[in-house]
Amino acid sequence: METNKIYRGRLIDHVQLVVADLAASKKFYQAVFEVIGIPMGGEADDYFWADELFVSSVGSPASAGVLTGRTHLAFQANDRAGVERFHAAAIAAGGKDNGAPGERPYHPGYYAAFVLDPDGNNIEVVHHGPASRSASAIEITF
């Protein structure tokens, strides 16, 4: 039996991706998680998970036998260097460039990179600027 922490009050409890090639996805996500400092939570023959992301094969009882459609997921990095390491590691692990590391116009300090995972999901790693990890929340005005 695995023990997990439950965080009340979060908007997202968990996200599941159902993928065509679990081994390729595991290679990709392990590389991404290692770079951003998120440990793998667990795995079995038909799934793996880390933090609140659950990834399963289409044959897993958890998948209902259907692949998920293209999804955009964004993970946080501690700094800009983490965004750059993510981009390099994700491509080396089978991802396809979908936006090199750089500032984006979403808000001041938004520094991100985008890579398509083996199933074509748009995976982003973002650093929101110097205050993003030191406080529990940042306020952004649009």
For residue 132, being part of any structural domain is answered with: no
* Total number of domains constituting the chain: 1
For residue 93, being part of any structural domain is answered with: yes
For residue 79, being part of any structural domain is answered with: yes
For residue 5, being part of any structural domain is answered with: no
Q: What is the pTM of this model?
A: 0.84
For residue 134, being part of any structural domain is answered with: no
For residue 121, being part of any structural domain is answered with: yes
pLDDT per position as a tens digit, 32-50 = 999 999 999 999 999 999 9
Q: In what order do the strands lie in the sheet with 47-50?
A: 15-19, 53-57, 47-50, 42-44
Of 70, 47, 50, 73, the closest CA to residue 120 belongs to 70
Strands 53-57 and 72-76: unpaired
Query: pLDDT digit of tens for each residue in the chain (142 aa)?
Result: 455 666 666 678 889 999 999 999 999 999 999 999 999 999 999 999 999 999 999 999 989 889 999 999 999 999 999 999 999 999 999 999 999 999 999 999 999 999 999 999 999 999 998 754 444 444 544 4
Sign of CA dihedral 48, 52, 57, 63: positive
Give residue 93's domain range. 15-58+70-127
For residue 20, being part of any structural domain is answered with: yes
CB 83 within 8 Å of CB 126: yes
Collect all residues with Cβ–Cβ distance below 8 Å to 142 and sequence separation of at least 6.
107
